[in-house]
């Protein structure tokens, strides 16, 4: 079922957003697409377009956002078949002025474009034990041990992950295998494996990811790296961890 809504305020190109609408907590709700037509403004992002729709046309529309600057990862959604961040995607990128928006797959669906990535990410962090493992007692009165600058840069590069869920939505293995931790989980393990503060061995990491739901489930189809909004070296880190785990 398609419903059309129009917002005509300023002069400019008219764009049409076809948005997936469904509330799984409402027994009367049925999956459908609704079309909204509005006027494009200079520099308009999908986040701005969705906000205009919510404030001026349809107060019942649900979508996620926090930072509006590509840092929090909350506004990830499927845009014309590809997972992207709404706050970093310009409406001017679409020459035909038609944009279809759907929620990310693989996550629990909340409503419309909103999905629950937070609980999944928290469970993943616990599964891969995403914290420094060390027998040393932390003494906040002392300066931390120095880290080689190159190693620190390598750790920082992997720490740039914003947990948006786009790598999981782009992953064929994750779509087929519910318990697969995906590139975000494997990236997390790779980050701690190179951290000199972490005392875990390769054998310890193997216990966490050495199966088909971990490092050996990746089919190296590059979907995660191709769509990562932060351009992280996900495949090279996964390959790095796979070589280490094979040796174990």
d(CA 35, CA 140): 55
Per-domain boundaries in the chain = 2-115, 117-133+147-247
Residue-by-residue pLDDT tens, the chain, 248 positions:
455 454 445 568 999 999 999 999 999 999 999 999 999 999 999 999 999 999 999 999 999 999 989 999 999 999 999 999 999 999 999 999 999 999 999 999 999 999 999 999 999 999 999 999 999 888 888 888 889 999 999 999 999 999 999 999 999 999 999 999 999 999 999 999 999 999 999 999 999 999 999 999 999 999 999 999 999 999 999 999 999 999 99
Give Cα 139 to chain centroid, integer Å. Answer: 35
Q: Which residues of 105-135 are buried (b: 16+ CB within 10 A; e: fewer)?
A: bbbebbbbbbbebeebbeebbebbbbeeeee
User: Quick one: which H or E segment has residue 239?
Assistant: helix 234-247
What is the pLDDT at residue 142? Answer: 86
CA geometry: angle at 52 spanning 119 and 170, to 5°?
40
What is the pLDDT at residue 143? Answer: 85
Decide which of 3.20.20.140, 3.40.50.300, 3.40.190.10, 3.10.20.30 is the CATH code for 2-115.
Answer: 3.10.20.30
The pTM of the full predicted model, rounded to 2 decimals, is 0.89
CA nearest 218: which of 202, 188, 241?
Answer: 241
Decide which of 1.10.1060.10, 3.40.50.300, 1.20.1250.40, 1.10.3720.10 is the CATH code for 117-133+147-247.
Answer: 1.10.1060.10
Contact at 8 Å (CB) between 187 and 237? yes
What is the pLDDT at residue 218? Answer: 94
CB atoms within 10 A of CB 207: 13
136 burial via Cβ count (<10 Å: 0-12, 13-18, 19+): exposed
What is the pLDDT at residue 144? Answer: 82
What is the pLDDT at residue 10? Answer: 52
Task: Tell me the residue ranges of DSSP E strands in 32-97.
Answer: 32-39, 76-79, 82-85
What are the distances in angstroms from CA 56 to CA 20, 41, 190? 18, 15, 45
Residues 6+ apart with CB under 8 A from 237: 158, 186, 187, 190
Q: What phi and psi values does residue 222 have, to the nearest 5 degrees?
A: 75, 5
Q: What are the tokens at 107?
A: 């996550």
């Amino acid at each position: 079922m398609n419903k059309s809504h129009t917002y005509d305020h300023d002069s400019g190109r008219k764009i049409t957003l076809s948005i997936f609408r469904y509330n799984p907590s409402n027994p009367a709700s049925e999956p459908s697409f609704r079309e909204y037509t509005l006027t494009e403004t200079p520099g308009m992002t999908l986040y701005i377009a969705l906000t205009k729709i919510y404030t001026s046309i349809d107060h019942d529309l649900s979508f996620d956002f926090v930072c509006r600057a590509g840092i929090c990862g909350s506004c990830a959604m499927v845009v014309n078949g590809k997972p992207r961040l709404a706050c970093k995607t310009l409406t001017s990128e679409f020459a035909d002025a038609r944009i279809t928006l759907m929620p990310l797959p693989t996550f629990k669906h909340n409503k419309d474009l909103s999905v629950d990535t937070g609980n999944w990410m928290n469970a993943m962090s616990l599964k891969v034990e995403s914290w420094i493992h060390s027998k040393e007692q932390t003494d906040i009165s002392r300066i931390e041990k120095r880290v080689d600058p190159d190693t620190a840069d390598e750790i920082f590069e992997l720490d740039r992950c914003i947990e948006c869920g786009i790598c999981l939505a782009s992953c064929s293995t994750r779509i087929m295998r519910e318990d697969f931790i995906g590139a975000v989980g494997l990236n997390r393990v790779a980050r701690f494996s190179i951290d000199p503060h972490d005392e875990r061995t390769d054998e310890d990491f193997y216990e966490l990811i050495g199966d088909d739901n971990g490092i050996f489930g990746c089919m190296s189809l590059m979907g995660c790296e191709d769509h990562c909004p932060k351009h992280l070296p996900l495949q090279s880190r996964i390959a790095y961890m796979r070589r280490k785990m094979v040796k174990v």
